[in-house]
Amino acid sequence: MEWLTDFAAWAWARHHNMLSWYIRPLFLLPFVLFAYRRSLRGIVLTLVALATSMFWFPAPAEPDPRAVEFLAMEKEYLIGEWTWWKIALSLTIPLSFIALALAFWKRSLLWGLVVINAMALGKIVWSFVFGDVGGGLAVAAPALIGLVICNAVILLAAQWLRGRRTLSRMPG
């Protein structure tokens, strides 16, 4: 069991690398692409990549103090008492991913955008409610940048798909 403790410490140190915080929201793009293409394998692989991405990057030599503070709060939150409301709140994470997959699986770009925006804004609100201003701001920047990129890519893809459909209807 010592290897598990060592692995957790190794991964936790890498979770402080802010680059991973900026990369993680971008995993929503392949997730929605695979949902749109109705590829369960792609969805699962994206979720595995998302879950492991926190330790892909090296541990920072000098972690951002806001990240240290926020992750200390997050760790305390996770190892603290699990009440019914905390369980219910935590269930919104898998339910959000299910809703996001269903929206794109059913080709509803509007509902997909609603869900993706609610997920990002929910993470930001959670960060401010359970953390402090510094920790909330540490999460807000990567989440908002990721949100803007995801919205832009999805809207551009929707426009591209509309253009393709229009071209395919034209007489040859």
Helix (H) or strand (E) holding 67: helix 65-79
- 110 Cβ contact list (under 8 Å, min separation 6): none
Confidence of residue 151 (pLDDT cuts 50, 70, 90): very high
DSSP character for 16? T
Token pair, residue 71, equals 């992750």
Distance CA 22, CA 10 (A): 20
For the chain, the farthest-separated pair of C-alpha atoms sits apart, in whole angstroms, at 68
What count of other Cβ atoms lies within 10 Å of the Cβ of residue 104? Answer: 25
Distance CA 155, CA 124 (A): 22
Token pair, residue 53, equals 């991405």
Number of domains in the chain: 1
What count of other Cβ atoms lies within 10 Å of the Cβ of residue 131? Answer: 21
Domain that holds residue 152: 2-169
Confidence of residue 54 (pLDDT cuts 50, 70, 90): confident
The pLDDT, as a whole number, for residue 46 is 97
Distance CA 38, CA 104 (A): 8
What does pLDDT average to over the chain? 90
DSSP character for 172? -
How much is the average pLDDT of 149-165?
88
The pLDDT of residue 172 is above 70: no
| Residue of 130, 147, 11 whose CA lies nearest to 70 | 130
The pLDDT, as a whole number, for residue 165 is 65
Residue type present at position 140: A
Q: What is the sign of the dihedral through the CA atoms of 112, 114, 120 and 125?
A: negative
Measured in residues, the chain has a length of 172
- 144 Cβ contact list (under 8 Å, min separation 6): 120, 124
The pLDDT of residue 107 is above 80: yes
